[in-house]
Chains A and B, each alone.
Chain A
Amino acid sequence: MPPAGGRADTGLAIEFRLNGETCAVEVDPAERLLDLLRYRLDLTGTKEGCGEGECGACTVYLDGLPVDSCLVPAYQAAGRDVRTIESLDEAALDPFLRTGATQCGACTPGVVMTAWWIREHPDLLETHGVRELMAGNLCRCTGYDGIVEGVEAALAERARGAGGGPGGSGGTSPGARATPRPLARAGVRGSGAVHRPRTLAAALDRLAEDPEAIPMAGGTDLLVHWPGHLAAHDRDYVDLAGIDELRGHRWGESELVLGGLSTYWELIRDPRVAREFPLLVDAGRQVGAVQIQARGTWAGNIANGSPAADGVPVLMAYDAVVGLASSAGTREVPLSDFYLGYKRMRRRGEELITHIRLPRRARDIQWFDKVGSRAQQAITKVGLAVTRDAGAPPDGGGWRVVANSVAPTVLRCPTVERLLDEAPDIDGPDGFAEALRADVSPIDDVRSSAEYRRRVLARLLYFGLRERVEFVT
């Protein structure tokens, strides 16, 4: 394998808005937005802390939303508005200085980007707390009090009309290099190619030709630890970002239809979703932090096939149907029937997930529990989504019990569902042990143990039902 990629002509020409100016540049298919900003445009205010979308030190705005630039392929900046810390007016950052929001400073530019976004969108606080919104920015120095107080002070200044916004075309920090450094300077290179279709038909044609190519949506899974995933740099990708047909969700009379590119954040911010499909919002808010929610897509969560996927259980509990298309035609598969095994699914290489259909039905019971390794921004160790169809016949069939991180795939628990239909007296978590043994098969891994997962799943079921049905006491 050649050391630096085998292609002679690798550059993808893109143009985007960068801190208010037009930036035209050739990027490598394996280059991250973070690499482009830091190593070729000399915008070093954006830091790399982890390369896995965990620490938020690389936070920039992409079309106005905070994202982790380590998880954005550089080519996906094309046609979009990118703002970095350098675009903020330094003088307006004084509140953060007063409260001690910075110590070592390595997390700070990312912290400030998220904090400033909150300051500019105080309506966020109608649904979210500052600590939840800041959870995608790890800080090891302050203990977060100085940061949270800084956000509050900045909001107070805004309310008083004080403090400037981001300077129109640029802040007070040094701007980007007028001439980007050459591609050789990019931190990451590979030998794979990226195709950037503008229509669904073109994307499907591409996949028909090369079913091994990987569709790229939000990148929040594929780009984790990207620089070290050398084999991934040599594969081919089909970028979905330019396909407007896949954007947005729409309401039908009897269904909610998510587009293939619908993001978590898009649904979290739709009050109607919160009313009719509250578990989508509950689960969406627990996928990573805001930076991930802004980029991650529901369809990507399905297609990635992780048993720990947080979006999939609630979709499954709402009887979601996955819409697939290839150049040969379209078909729909119930999500509960979609997975065949670990990372194996009914989507064929030449197919794309174009939409996700959710029937609008009244539920008299619905909840989602996620047990992660910490309160915010965690990978699920055990997860549970439960719904009951309010219109189900008395003899049953109305329960949906879906678990994640306890089997090779996210899955429904049919034995538990039948047990609930029977509504026997259950007076402790052990009452679910046998049914769960039939349904799930957790393992020991780096995050938890099989025993913990099995027992906690039973406890989530027990305590959740105890609050909601009479037969569990």
Chain B
Amino acid sequence: MRRREGLAKLSGRERYVDDLPLDDFLWGGTVRSPAPRGRIADIRFPSWFRGAGFIVVDHRDIPGRNAVFLMEDDQPALAPGTVRHVHEPVLLVAHASRSAVRRAVAEIEVVVDEDPAWLDFLAPPPAEAIQHGPDNVFKHIDISKGDVEAALARAPIVVEGEYETGAQEHVYLENQGMIAHLDGETLVIRGSMQCPYYIVKALGGLLGRSPGELRVVQTPTGGGFGGKEEYPSTIAAHAALLALAAGRPVKLVYERPEDLAATTKRHPSWIRHRTGVAPDGTLLAQDIEVRLDGGAYVTLSPVVLSRACIHAAGPYACDHVRIRGDAVLTNRVPFGAFRGFGNPQACFAFECHMDAIARRLALDPAEVRRRNLLRDGQTTATGQVIQDGTDRVALLDRALELGRVEEKRAAHAAFNAATADRRRGLGVVTYHHGAGFTGSGEIHLDSRVHAAGLPDGRIEIRAASTEMGQGTITIFTKLAAERLGVAPELVEIAPPDTHVVPDSGPTVASRTAMIVGHLVERACDDLRAKVGLTDQARGEIVRDAILAWHREHRAEAVIGEGRYTAPPGVEWDEETYRGSAYATFCWAAHVAEIEVDLRSYGVRVLDYVTVQEAGRILNDVLARGQIQGGVVQGIGWALLEELVERDGRMLNAQLTNYIIPTSGDVPPIRVEFVENPYPFGAQGAKGLGEFPLNGAGPAIANAVSAALGVTAASIPLTPERLMRLVDEAGPAATGAA
């Protein structure tokens, strides 16, 4: 099946939030803190401002609790007198003229009496830098299996390594934006978002409104990648406050520089591995420390840290594992959800470290992985027994074969010896990604999906799961149509509108096809039962039964419901971090081939191969697109994308200077799926949206290390950073040249 809304997008018909017809509205704007920490001493308005017809809102205009509720309520919607990061929202303005708003935002001066800002997440904070709890630690996690200290003491060889990754901006091509207006007593929020019900929850307390008085509607969303998971709640709050003050609709649409500078990014990380190994490469003990920079407020850092820690030991078997993690406060713009959600950082560290182990032992990096990859019946660091029938070694071997690794290694050796100004290398990685929410998360979500039988015999799927490019509409259509044996045209997907659709949970964690899709199927089953059919009924008979039901029940609705129940055997202890962290994992192996230009220290990716097992593939074109897009986003993170900051302020908040890959920067991404249906996912699917990104960072870094004989342990591997790395390695890195 082709992407259902595809032609509307290709032809430009699809209307995003800034495209919607809207009359008699005001443009909103956000006045932000110029300083990373301090007390707001004054707000100075330009002389022309008073009497110019602006609506102005600050924290005193918030009717309820001044917090954008997410996991904790520490983050104010508008700074209440103190600020904790540059660009923290202080004041809102609205005016009919967008130019007027721009001038006001540029010329209203927020004067801050600065306190010392704390910007280093690796150093222990001094007393005057403490702003959260006793130690600025948002969340601490301990995972323990076996006896690491004893095993390390016994191990013949211990390999240590420290790995760092930088912040990454999502760069969804559609900037963030919201429209708020009153419809009678109901406040309506429309905009670009992943999670409509997050906004209902965040605004309920802030505005003192019940879900009935607050209607949130997702508009077609031009990319999210996690960047539209939590941040839209803040923009929705701002648009709502302005609209309530103005009594008119307010549109608050960010322009790119503001979006780049002020919204969340991927958490910077530092991870240390100390690994006991046998001479043959067998892992004997893994001692791992994980540290994430959370930025100025808690946001989602605890759960990002959780996913990072759970994955930190890699897809490998080891009897003695200790993982300790901290997410800490700094006075930087808060970091948030981003595709992979902590695992890309974890994966970067463990996969670079596997290569470090191979180098230390003079073994083939693929062989070290082959030796340690989890076999069915073995357990992860949390004690989860892996028993899914996937042959992880075969995945790796298939990737090596597709990447022609053996042949290319020999060719590279010859090339590197014969070429003065270029070096080639290969990087191999294997990794995993837990699909769906961590631990008991899915049970707490209690997600629901409705399948309504419409009076004309069509079926409408109602879920809060959003389409942001990943294919929700197409996948839900396929699942419902095939479940009921009807033509896809008979299936409608209701736009996510919290007054119409039930809460099917947030559109995050690669859970939509696998988990919510399964609820779509159950809702279809329930609908079938409600119109008097058995689960075997398919095709015309279903439509006829819906039509017949409506003939007998005029003006009534018939709605089937699917509600989440945990698969058997999935048990998780949130206190001890023991048990089944995820209902299931996806598995992957990547091979990257790169060339370093020794004139400029630039890295070009020559070839990229991915082989993955993500359950059953529901739509080949969509799935392939997820893998290719994820890999390229990972290549950007590995090579190009660097947040340049001074005093907590992003200096390169333009797409000219925050660089993402173009079509000319990447080769074709070769994709192969190995299908192993997962019995509790829709049609056997597992979630695959996030995990392709994880592998690219370490695959590229390992390839660079191989090409130059260096240890690339930090990304982005910008040419400037690579130059220093080559310097440190000395002439060995580049040969005679």
Residues in A lying within 8 Å of B, measured CB to CB: 1-5, 30, 38, 42, 44-52, 54-55, 57, 84-86, 88, 90, 93-94, 96-109, 112, 130-132, 134-148, 171-174, 184, 187-190, 224-225, 227-228, 230, 233, 289, 369, 371, 373-379, 381-382, 428, 446-449, 451-452, 455-456, 459-460, 463, 466
Q: Which residues of A contact B420 (CB under 8 A)?
A: 463, 466
When the two chains form their complex, are residues A143 and B12 in contact, meaning their CB atoms are under 8 A apart? no
Measured CA separation A5–B98 after assembly (Å): 12
Measured CA separation A48–B177 after assembly (Å): 12
With both beta carbons as reference points, the residue of chain B lying nearest to A379 in the complex is identified as B656
Complex A-B: 13 CB contacts under 8 Å: A3-B99, A45-B13, A48-B175, A52-B656, A85-B12, A101-B10, A188-B99, A224-B656, A227-B102, A230-B103, A375-B664, A446-B644, A456-B719
When the two chains form their complex, are residues B12 and A45 in contact, meaning their CB atoms are under 8 A apart? yes
When the two chains form their complex, are residues B663 and A148 in contact, meaning their CB atoms are under 8 A apart? yes
Q: A230 with B663: in contact, given A85-B11, A103-B625 (CB under 8 Å)?
A: no
When the two chains form their complex, are residues B222 and A104 in contact, meaning their CB atoms are under 8 A apart? yes
Considering residues B3, B6, B601, B660, which has the most beta carbons from chain A within 10 angstroms of its beta carbon?
B6
Q: A50 with B655: in contact, given A102-B10, A106-B223, A141-B469 (CB under 8 Å)?
A: yes
When the two chains form their complex, are residues B97 and A463 in contact, meaning their CB atoms are under 8 A apart? no
Flag whether B376 is at the interface (Cβ < 8 A): no
Q: Which residues of B contact A102 (CB under 8 A)?
A: 3, 6, 9-10
Q: Which residues of A contact B661 (CB under 8 A)?
A: 374
Considering residues A54, A137, A227, A449, which has the most beta carbons from chain B within 10 angstroms of its beta carbon?
A54
Flag whether B533 is at the interface (Cβ < 8 A): no
When the two chains form their complex, are residues B16 and A143 in contact, meaning their CB atoms are under 8 A apart? no
When the two chains form their complex, are residues B11 and A172 in contact, meaning their CB atoms are under 8 A apart? yes
Q: Which residues of A contact B388 (CB under 8 A)?
A: none
Q: What's the least CB distance linking B466 to chain A, in Å?
A: 11
Q: Which residues of B contact A447 (CB under 8 A)?
A: 652, 657
Measured CA separation A5–B100 after assembly (Å): 9
Q: What's the least CB distance linking A96 to chain B, in Å?
A: 5
When the two chains form their complex, are residues A54 and B655 in contact, meaning their CB atoms are under 8 A apart? yes
When the two chains form their complex, are residues B663 and A3 in contact, meaning their CB atoms are under 8 A apart? no
When the two chains form their complex, are residues B222 and A106 in contact, meaning their CB atoms are under 8 A apart? yes
When the two chains form their complex, are residues B222 and A99 in contact, meaning their CB atoms are under 8 A apart? no
Flag whether B256 is at the interface (Cβ < 8 A): yes
Considering residues B2, B5, B627, B628, which has the most beta carbons from chain A within 10 angstroms of its beta carbon?
B628
When the two chains form their complex, are residues B102 and A230 in contact, meaning their CB atoms are under 8 A apart? yes
With both beta carbons as reference points, the residue of chain A lying nearest to B97 in the complex is identified as A4
Q: What's the least CB distance linking B700 to chain A, in Å?
A: 14
When the two chains form their complex, are residues A97 and B629 in contact, meaning their CB atoms are under 8 A apart? no
With both beta carbons as reference points, the residue of chain A lying nearest to B727 in the complex is identified as A455
Q: Which residues of A contact B471 (CB under 8 A)?
A: 103
Q: Which residues of A contact B12 (CB under 8 A)?
A: 44-46, 84-86, 108-109, 112, 173
Measured CA separation A136–B107 after assembly (Å): 33
Measured CA separation A94–B737 after assembly (Å): 51
With both beta carbons as reference points, the residue of chain A lying nearest to B661 in the complex is identified as A374
Which residue of the partner chain, among A3, A44, A51, A143, contacts B256 with CB atoms under 8 Å? Answer: A51
Q: What's the least CB distance linking A320 to chain B, in Å?
A: 26
> Chain B, 83-96, contact with A by CB distance < 8 Å: what is the 0/1 string?
00000000000011
Measured CA separation A93–B6 after assembly (Å): 10
Q: Which residues of A contact B421 (CB under 8 A)?
A: 463
Q: Which residues of B contact A148 (CB under 8 A)?
A: 663, 668
Considering residues B221, B225, B666, which has the most beta carbons from chain A within 10 angstroms of its beta carbon?
B666
Measured CA separation A382–B48 after assembly (Å): 45
Q: Which residues of A contact B174 (CB under 8 A)?
A: 47, 49, 104, 106
Q: How many A-B Cβ pairs are below 8 Å?
A: 293
Q: Which residues of B contact A97 (CB under 8 A)?
A: 2-3, 6-7, 10
Flag whether B470 is at the interface (Cβ < 8 A): yes
With both beta carbons as reference points, the residue of chain B lying nearest to A107 in the complex is identified as B173
Q: A140 with B257: in contact, given A3-B48, A105-B220, A456-B600 (CB under 8 Å)?
A: no
With both beta carbons as reference points, the residue of chain B lying nearest to A103 in the complex is identified as B469
Residues in B lying within 8 Å of A, measured CB to CB: 2-3, 5-16, 18-19, 21, 46, 48-49, 52, 95-100, 102-104, 106-107, 170-175, 220-225, 255-257, 420-421, 468-471, 598-602, 604, 621-622, 624-625, 627-633, 640, 644, 651-652, 654-657, 659-666, 668-669, 719-720, 723, 737
When the two chains form their complex, are residues A103 and B629 in contact, meaning their CB atoms are under 8 A apart? yes
With both beta carbons as reference points, the residue of chain B lying nearest to A464 in the complex is identified as B599
Known pairs A112-B10, A373-B640. 20 more at Cβ < 8 A? A3-B95, A42-B21, A52-B256, A54-B654, A85-B11, A104-B223, A105-B220, A108-B10, A138-B655, A143-B666, A143-B669, A146-B621, A184-B97, A188-B99, A190-B99, A374-B665, A375-B664, A446-B651, A447-B652, A448-B720
When the two chains form their complex, are residues A140 and B223 in contact, meaning their CB atoms are under 8 A apart? yes
Q: Which residues of A contact B627 (CB under 8 A)?
A: 143
Measured CA separation A143–B21 after assembly (Å): 32
Q: A145 with B2: in contact, given A45-B13, A105-B14, A184-B97 (CB under 8 Å)?
A: no
When the two chains form their complex, are residues B102 and A228 in contact, meaning their CB atoms are under 8 A apart? yes
Q: What's the least CB distance linking B220 to chain A, in Å?
A: 7
Q: A140 with B660: in contact, given A230-B106, A459-B600 (CB under 8 Å)?
A: yes
Q: Which residues of B contact A448 (CB under 8 A)?
A: 719-720
When the two chains form their complex, are residues B625 and A140 in contact, meaning their CB atoms are under 8 A apart? no
Measured CA separation A425–B103 after assembly (Å): 60
Q: Which residues of B contact A466 (CB under 8 A)?
A: 420
Q: Which residues of A contact B99 (CB under 8 A)?
A: 3-5, 30, 187-190, 230, 233
Measured CA separation A57–B18 after assembly (Å): 14
Q: Which 3 residue pairs of A and B lie closest in terms of their CB atoms, listed nearest first?
A: A45-B12, A106-B222, A104-B469
Measured CA separation A200–B7 after assembly (Å): 47
Q: A143 with B640: in contact, given A88-B11, A93-B11, A376-B665 (CB under 8 Å)?
A: no
Q: Which residues of A contact B666 (CB under 8 A)?
A: 143-144
Q: Which residues of A contact B103 (CB under 8 A)?
A: 1, 3, 230
Measured CA separation A374–B632 after assembly (Å): 13
When the two chains form their complex, are residues A103 and B470 in contact, meaning their CB atoms are under 8 A apart? yes
Q: A184 with B96: in contact, given A45-B13, A90-B11 (CB under 8 Å)?
A: yes
